[in-house]
Structure formats: structure tokens, C-alpha cells
Amino acid sequence: MTSASAQTPQDQDTDDEFLWLEDIYGDKQLDWVRAQNSKTEALLSATDFERTEERLLEVLDSTDRIPMVVKRGDWYYNFWRDGEHPKGLWRRTTWDGYTAADTQWETLLDLDALSAAEGTEWVWGGARFLRPEDGASYRRALVLLSPDGGDAARYREYDVVDRAFVPGGFDLPVAKTQVSWAGPDSLYVATDFGPGSMTASSYPRMVRTVHRGQDLPDADLYFEVPQDHMMGYVHHDQTPGFERDLALDIIDFYDSITYLRRDDAWLRVEVPLDVTVDLHRQWLLMRPRTDWLVGETLHKAGSLLAADLEDFLAGGRNLRTLFTPEPTVSLQSWSWTRDYLLLNLLRDVSSEIQVLEPAADWQATTLDACPPLHTVDAYAVDDEDDAAGNDYWLISTGFTTPSTLSRGTLGSPAGTGKGAAAAVKSSPSFFDSSDCTVEQHFAVSADGTRVPYFQVAHQGMVLDGGNPTVLSGYGGFEQALTPAYSGVVGRGWLERSYTDDGGTLRRGVYVLANIRGGGEYGPDWHRAALQQNRHRAYEDFAAVARDLTDRGVTSREHLGCTGRSNGGLLVGNMLTLYPELFGAVSCGVPLLDMRRYTKLSAGHSWIAEYGDPDDPEQWEFIKTFSPYHLLREDVQYPPSLIWTATSDDRVGPVQARKMAARMQAIGVDRVWFHEALEGGHAGAADNRQSARMHAMSYEFLWEALTGRLS
């Protein structure tokens, strides 16, 4: 066979001996999957897998978890899964009911009952309400249901008063669809209207105005984008006094064009393609991903700028800088209450919250709510509510601190008893963390960059390299990994222990790496590992692995790594590029074949992140981080578990299948594969499947890193 380095991209397709596995639902292919599943399940049957699965399911099914809610009118809506309702309940309650010790819920939709009645295993995807006329209650919603947990879903109109689907109401067939209410009797629908209506990324490119009772093919075209762009959709802003239509042409993951409907035409908001645009009442917020020169003022990448919308559309460029990034401080998100703007920041990957008051010349104050090495997110409860317009939620969590949901009011006069947030709900402890310590360390990557990581371990840990350690990461799409409490991680890993041959008690160590490619330090941190610079993310992760070894926390035979999706690509590169650093690899719902990723599922939409393998020049760098093509017969690979889901229509299962098949074909004898037959990109459609997925990964890693893997 011709070497990978000498092949053209087209040669790679012809020489791919496992192309046949790309037929996702073929009988021969599924027979291969079932045979692989049997081998993996046989391996796990000799471990504590079943006990671990049940203990993790207890966490996921616990009725003491915080039921997170969304306020619409006077009601608080929640979707809930537990042991009695594995597919879940959509339900609601009042504020007094929510704060009561024993909340009484009104069930709106029982998905278990619906699935049984309709013979389809429905998976909840959310609900989108129609804003009622002033003085009326919220009543109509579009309920999003997936038949298998994938991104393709069905929209059905539901009446929360009648607690039933609306007879003859809107019912959009299963597809990758984006929908917005256009009015009480019409929708803006971006979906699969037939040939030519979808982009190369498998998302809608056409938006049509669908009126009640109208067939989709008869609907009038309202907006469209070119087929080589990622997606187009239209959103109707229902804010009273600011009703308007916005259209978004998403070119790729980082470039887009925003339009505002004016005089029966689309008016472009004139900003660079990489500037994120947010409209709120009279304000226009803008966040550039690269430095943006406006007049003589240079606005740094990751800053947040404000302008009066009408003035900006008229050509004015009177921009107000609301946030300027620092080397260790980045803006993660923002949320509007009625009179304030909440900014969620990270300072060396710990939360900080600022409150800005537009009426006071954007005066900023810091919300005293963020302990070190914790994540605290603030967002509005309901900015349109007359009484609660300046109320905000706080969700605080840490690796050993169970999550707490609090509620406060911004701008409350002194002495009113409001203002500072008060706890509303708290999650229980699911594992004993009394002697756990959380530390932040910094590794030095190959180019000298300091890379932060969190370490969760037990007091008294012996630093002799003998501790079973799991290193997790992601490093892509400007997504930040932050401290968070997880009963699954606690029970699945931190509570584990064994006594080694020398009589030393060993307990699980959990490590989270904040490598480049993520968003922990803003867009520059992400852009540093894009496309031809992708290896910086992998060098960062390898540097953390080496630092753990150098500090005596662990050693190669006791260090495992795990990641999902883009994180699966990350650990796939650890497997192929740095096999000497790891004793085991757990690789979930991964990208691995970077030659064909643009042709599989939604892969074309990620060209901006990884590059285009059909461009020979770009394939030259892409092939250097394509694990499927980096496998070699003369390399000793660590034990590996590769797992995925048949119904994943985002990454798809075929890359995982092909990687495992090629590893087995070249003689790698310690590679296992498992494919859930449903579950979507999350790998699980209900709590039982999720518990099984996590238990499988943790059980495999524990067996491998403690020398018990047969």
C-alpha cells in the first residue's frame, strides 16, 4: 500500500478498506457492530460494571437533583427524567410551588406514555413558546421531539392549557429543522424542503413562511443562503415594542451575516463576518473574534461593544466598549435583565460576574458571588416581566461543591430584603468529597505556553507515580471546560480505590485540561489551535500528561485519557501520536477519519475548525492529525475503548467503526468497540443509557490503569 504521506486525498478514498462500514444501517454492518458489542460486553461482565452502572444511574435518576426551570408568564417549566419516567416528563409549577419543600408539578406531557401510544421512542428536544398578547397567558408552544436522540426532530404544536397537541396544528416532519414563531398562525421554517434545500453541511439553507394549514411545499420563500454555507434561519423577535425579523446566514462556525427586515427587504448589519451580533431592544451588542479597527480605534478580539441600533444602521460608529479582554480574563457569555447587562467572565478559568447599567453610562460593578476555582453563571429570569424584570438566576458549582441555584434582584433599594441572591435549590452530595482537594496547576507546552489544568485528588496522595488518573479535555470550537460538580465523576472515578502490591492505598485522581482550541482565554486561545496549528492543542494535552508524571501524581501505566466528539479526536491523537504517555484511552463519539469527515453526517460544517481535506494543500496538514491515517503496525498502542451511537447524526458512528476495524486489522489486540443502537451525539437517549455509557468508560479505564485488564 502507498504510504499515507505520498497519497493524494482521492487515493485515500480508494485505499480505504473499511469504506463498507459507512453504510450506517446495513445488515452486514450492524452484524459487525453486534459482534463487537458482544466482545466488549463480555470483557465488562467480568468487572464491577453492573454495580457501577447502577450507582451512576442512582445519581442520574435522583429525585433530589435540582429541577432547572424556565419562566414563562406565571409558570415555571421543567423537563425531568428519573427511574419512574426514563423518557421524561414536561411539567410546570408556580413560584410558590417551586420554592416549597415538596414541589407539586402539573404534568403537561409524559414522553413514556406518548412513546408507548405512538410506537416511537421519542426523545425530548425542548419547547418554543408563542408570546401571547398583553394580558393573556402563555398557551401555545412548539414541542421538539427526536425519534432516536439525533439532531433530526419533529416539531408539534402543543396547548399547555388543554395539555394536548393542537388538533390540526403545526406538525413538521422529522428533519434538521430551525423554527421561529412568525405570529399566532404562521412560522418561519428552515428545514428539508426537498432537493437543493439543504447545505453541504446537511443543514437547511432555505427559510419559508408557513401558514396554519399550509403544506410545506406551498410556503413562500422568505430567506435563503448559498449551498456551500453552513445554515440559514430566521428569528422573529417577540419583545413588545421591538417586534422584528432577524435572519442569519451562517457561513461557517465562526463567520456569519446578520440581517434585519426593513421595508420588505433584508438590511445587512454591517460588521465583519467574524463579529457576533446580539440585538436587545434598542441596543446592538458586538463581539469580534479577531481585532477590529473602527475608525482609528482598534477593538481587541474577545471584547464586547455596544451601540444604539438605529444609529449604527444609519452609519454611526459611536461604539462603547463594555469589556476588554486581558491575557487571563475572557468573556464567556452575557444576559440582559430589564435594566442591566450581566457579563459572565473567566479569570484563569474561575468565574467572575460583572453587572453593567446602561442608564448609568454603563457603570460596571462586580457581583460578589464567585469563590475561587468554581463556576458561577448568572442570567436573567424573565426580562419582560413587570415584577421580575431585573431578577437573575445564579448557578454555582465546583468539583467538590454540589450545585446551588439562587435568585436575586438587581438594583433593589437597600433595606428591601432583595438584591443579593438567595439559595432556592441545592443538589445533594452524591459522593464523599470530605478529604478531596481541588488544585489548579500549569503545564508548559512545547512552544512555552502555560496551560492550566485542574486536579481533583484525595488528601495524603502519595506522589510516587502510582495513582490511577483520568485526564479529560476537549480543545475545540472555543468551548471552555470549567469546574463543575458531577456525581458521575465522583462515583465513577474519585470514590474508587484499591491497594497495590506494595500495600499502598490508591484512589482515583481526576484531571481536567484547559488546552488551546477551547475558549478558556477567549478567541485568541481558540484560534491558536485552528487548522494548521491544530497540533498545539495536542501538544498542550501531552504537556499536562507529562507534568502529572513529573510531579509524581501518576505514571504512564496509571494514566488514562478520555474525550468525546472533538475530544474524541483529541484522545485519538493521543493514541496515535503520544502512545508512550498513556496506559489507556477511552474515545467517545469521535472524529477520527479526517480525510472523509466532511462527507460524513454534519462534518462539512467543521471545515473552519479543521480545514478542507479536499484541498491538497490543506490535506498536507490535516493528515498529520488524522488518527485513522496515523495508525502503524510497528507501534505498541495502549488499551483502547472506542464507543459511539448508531443514531448520532452529527459526527456519526462510522469513524469510530472504521478506527476500531483498522486497529484490529493491523494486529492491535487490545482495542474494544461499542456502539449504542440509539442515543444521538450524546451517546444516550435516557438516564439508563447515559449511566451505561459512563460506566463502560470508567470501568474500562480502571481495569486498564490498575493492571487488571485481561
Catalytic machinery residues? 565, 681
Which DSSP helix (H) or strand (E) runs through 696? helix 687-705
Distance separating alpha carbons of residues 267 and 625, to the nearest angstrom: 41
Q: Is the dihedral of CA 575, 578, 583, 587 positive or negative?
A: negative
Of the candidates 167, 165, 168, the one whose C-alpha atom is nearest the C-alpha of residue 145 is 165
Which DSSP helix (H) or strand (E) runs through 333? strand 329-336
589: left (phi over 0), alpha (psi -120 to 50) or beta: left
263: left (phi over 0), alpha (psi -120 to 50) or beta: left
Residue 357: CB atoms within 10 Å: 15
DSSP state of 512: E
Strands 559-564 and 584-588: parallel
Q: Is the dihedral of CA 554, 558, 563, 566 positive or negative?
A: positive
* Rg of the chain on CA atoms, in Å: 26
Of the candidates 143, 129, 155, the one whose C-alpha atom is nearest the C-alpha of residue 73 is 129
Convert 269-316 into a string of H (helix), E (strand) and C (coil): CCCCCCEEEEEECCEEEEEECCCEEECCEEECCCCEEEEEHHHHHCCC
Of the candidates 123, 148, 33, 52, the one whose C-alpha atom is nearest the C-alpha of residue 692 is 52
Alpha helices (H) along 93-247: 95-99, 111-118
Output the DSSP codes for 22-54.
Answer: G-TT-HHHHHHHHHHHHHHHHHHHTTTHHHHHH
Which DSSP helix (H) or strand (E) runs through 78? strand 75-80
Convert 428-483 into a string of H (helix), E (strand) and C (coil): CCCCCCCCEEEEEEEEECCCCCEEEEEEEEECCCCCCCCCCEEEECCCCCCCCCCC
Alpha helices (H) along 500-603: 523-527, 535-550, 566-577
Convert 409-431 into a string of H (helix), E (strand) and C (coil): ECCCCCCCCCCCCEEEEECCCCC
343 phi, psi to nearest 5 deg = -110, 125
Distance separating alpha carbons of residues 695 and 492, to the nearest angstrom: 7
Residue 690: CB atoms within 10 Å: 21
First to last CA, the chain: 33
Beta bridge partners of 315: none
- Cβ atoms of 478 and 519 within 8 Å: the answer is yes
**Crossing angle for the helix pair 687-705 and 49-61, to the nearest 10 degrees:** 140
203 phi, psi to nearest 5 deg = -115, 160
